[in-house]
Structure 1
Amino acid sequence: LRNAMIPVVTILGLQFAFLLAGTIIIENVFYLPGLGRLVFQAINQRDLIVVESVVMLLVAAVIVVNFIVDLSYAVVDPRLRGRQ
């Protein structure tokens, strides 16, 4: 059943992106300090430099997670390792 783990790993990687996107809502509802609240305040104050910086940070995190997911495919399913 190792080959059936590939979709599970993919969904787990995608859920990380949704988790990051949900921080903006959660931090504002519960009045928690964090990147989500910082982005929300920066949008309200039209501080584009802060918004762009946080968005670039989140994009970099999503890219790293997707790269880790792609590398984990070879660990999960040995058929994807290639010929040696």
Structure 2
Amino acid sequence: HVLRNAMVPVVTVMGLQFANLLAGTIVVENVFFLPGLGRLIFQSIANRDLIVVRNCVMLLAAMVVLVNFIVDLLYAVIDPRLKASDL
């Protein structure tokens, strides 16, 4: 009975931590020299390739917005008392 009420803040924090997870992967990729989006961003900054930097930033921003949208949709699934008009 309590799980539905307790899951709303947990899902909120999980959604907010997603942005921190993305920022952390960028740092880890550069520290351990792993290939990925973080290395691409840093190499593009070093080479002054602004188109790649812009597109990577837009991709990361879109991912954060998409995850926050999914979190908002999960609110109504977790607790049916929350309607779309209340969000």
Instruction: Please give the TM-score of this superposition, normalised by the length of structure 2.
Output: 0.88
Say which of 10, 13, 17 aligns to 1:11: 13
TM-align CA RMSD: 1.1
Give unmatched runs, 5+ long, in structure 1.
none
Paired AA for residue 57 in structure 1: L
Deviation of the 1:44 alpha carbon: 1.3
Say which of 62, 72, 83 aligns to 1:70: 72
1:60 and 2:53 correspond: no
How far apart are the structure 1 equivalents of 2:69 and 2:39?
Answer: 27
Deviation of the 1:36 alpha carbon: 0.3
Deviation of the 1:15 alpha carbon: 1.1
Say which of 21, 24, 36 aligns to 1:22: 24
Paired AA for residue 50 in structure 1: V
How many equivalent pairs are there?
82
Instruction: Please give the TM-score of this superposition, normalised by the length of structure 1.
Output: 0.91
Large movers: runs of 4+ above 3 Å: none
3-state SS, counterpart of residue 48 of structure 2: coil
Paired AA for residue 37 in structure 1: R
3-state SS, counterpart of residue 80 of structure 1: coil
Paired AA for residue 51 in structure 1: V
Deviation of the 1:81 alpha carbon: 3.2
More helix by share: 1
Paired AA for residue 10 in structure 1: T
